[in-house]
């Protein structure tokens, strides 16, 4: 299934109240009717918190809440975006001048990430424009991956408008990479499950290469997804990227400790693979290798034999360059079961 492209089907808009409402609003905003609709769901993760960007497998499933976009390709070279939620302002830009501001993670930038990902995948220029009406019912900044769903939806919108096709796996990989344009250094779980999800099953998502395996849910099981109403926009703060960076630093420190080529290592799973050890053995190695006190940037530089400037420019992401890292054993062991120190 993953080798196939996303499913397409003909629907009678009049039989779907949400589509009909979207069609009517599209007509009132753009003076025309949409040519097609694209949907991408949000997700919850059952097992494997914050380990996809370390290269380890996760077990998410899609939820009913989604991003839905009504689309009309147009002859102009302008993208016009309108959100059904009035809290999100209208936006338009030239297809030849895609600018994604990492310092201001506004809603339209997530759409531009998906658009740019497809544009760069096919090395395209002078693309046709689009009128798009976006409707999302995933609670924003709630941990259900509304931002990634919008990136995925935009990627699929662009691909469909161009009349091109890619497999679900290719689309997931492109959208995972392109979301980093907004500054979020995720690992690919959100985009993968958005494209690879199937009704009635969770998915074991593995990486390098990306692959998905059905995990049948227990008969009669009920998952309660509760919204705490506490919002966290991961692109607007450094909290998410700090965790990613700490794990990256742990991988490099552990590689150095084990005399591996540490500067080529980005993920903890790579270290495990290069050492050829089991996860249990990795736990023993990391418990022996990492001291429990937080590491300062100066100590990291001493371990890796690099300068502070090299640490900032070559390893840290832009919003983690202020030195506010807390790399230490217990935190990483709780997050990922992996960590490292030099001796």
- Say whether pLDDT at 332 is over 70: no
From the candidates 90, 190, 214, 288, give the one annotated as an active-site residue: 190
pLDDT in tens, 11-32: 889 889 999 999 999 999 999 9
Both structure tokens of 153:
């939806």
Mean of the per-residue pLDDT values of the chain: 90
d(CA 342, CA 159): 47
Residue with tokens 């931002």: 147
Q: Is the pTM of this model over 0.85?
A: yes
Q: In this structure, how many other beta carbons lie within 10 angstroms of the beta carbon of residue 5?
A: 16
**Rounded mean pLDDT of 300-324?**
84
pLDDT tens, residue by residue, 57-92: 999 999 999 999 999 999 999 999 999 999 999 999
pLDDT-derived band at 333 (thresholds 50, 70, 90) equals: very low
What is the C-alpha to C-alpha distance for residues 167 and 3, in angstroms, rounded to an integer?
A: 5
pLDDT tens by residue, 212-224? 999 988 888 888 8
Closest by Cα among 225, 160, 230, 172 to 196: 172
**Tokens coding 262:** 């540490």
**Cα–Cα distance, 233 to 312 (Å, whole number):** 24
Domain boundaries, the chain: 13-215, 237-342
pLDDT given for residue 326 in this prediction: 53
CATH number attached to the domain at 237-342: 1.20.1440.340
Confidence of residue 104 (pLDDT cuts 50, 70, 90): confident
% of residues, the chain, pLDDT over 70:
92
Domain range 13-215, its CATH number among 3.40.50.12160, 3.40.50.2300, 3.30.230.10, 3.30.470.20:
3.30.230.10
pLDDT digits (tens, 9 = 90+) for 182-235: 999 999 999 999 999 998 899 999 999 999 999 988 888 888 888 888 887 777
Asked if residue 256 lies in contact with residue 262, where contact means CB atoms within 8 angstroms, the answer is yes
322 is catalytic: no
Q: Is residue 209 a contact partner of residue 167, using CB atoms and an 8 Å limit?
A: no
Residue 153: which residues within 8 A CB-CB, separation 6 or more? 38, 39, 40, 67, 68, 69, 111, 114, 134
């Amino acid at each position: 299934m993953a080798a196939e492209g996303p499913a397409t089907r003909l629907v009678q808009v009049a039989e779907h109240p949400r589509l009909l409402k979207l069609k009517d609003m599209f007509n009132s905003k753009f003076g025309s009717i949409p040519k097609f609709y694209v949907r991408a769901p949000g997700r919850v993760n059952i097992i494997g918190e914050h380990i996809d960007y370390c290269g380890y497998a996760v077990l998410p499933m899609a939820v009913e809440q989604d991003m839905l976009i009504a689309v009309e390709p147009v002859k102009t070279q302008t993208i016009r975006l309108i959100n059904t939620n009035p809290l999100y302002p209208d936006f338009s830009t030239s297809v030849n001048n895609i600018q994604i501001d990492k310092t201001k993670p506004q809603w339209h930038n997530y759409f531009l990430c998906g658009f740019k990902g497809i544009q760069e995948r096919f090395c395209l220029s002078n693309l046709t424009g689009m009128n798009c009406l976006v409707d999302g019912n995933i609670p924003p900044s709630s941990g259900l991956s509304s931002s990634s769903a919008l990136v995925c939806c935009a990627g699929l919108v662009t691909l469909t408008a161009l009349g091109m096709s890619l497999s679900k796996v290719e689309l997931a990989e492109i959208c995972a990479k392109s979301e980093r344009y907004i500054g979020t250094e995720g690992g690919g779980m959100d985009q993968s499950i958005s494209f690879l999800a199937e009704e009635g099953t969770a998915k074991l998502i593995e990486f390098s290469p990306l692959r998905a395996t059905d995990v049948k849910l227990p008969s009669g099981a009920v998952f309660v997804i509760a919204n705490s109403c506490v919002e966290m926009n991961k692109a607007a703060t450094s909290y998410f990227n700090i965790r990613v960076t700490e794990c990256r630093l742990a991988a490099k420190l552990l590689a150095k400790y084990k005399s591996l080529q540490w500067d080529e290592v980005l993920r903890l799973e790579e270290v495990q693979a290069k050492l050829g050890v089991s996860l249990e053995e990795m736990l023993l190695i990391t418990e022996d290798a990492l001291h429990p006190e937080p590491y300062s940037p100066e100590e990291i530089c001493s371990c890796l034999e690099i300068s502070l400037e090299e640490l900032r420019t070559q390893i840290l992401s832009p919003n983690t360059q202020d030195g506010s890292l807390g790399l230490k054993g217990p935190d990483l062991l709780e997050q990922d079961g992996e960590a490292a120190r030099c001796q």
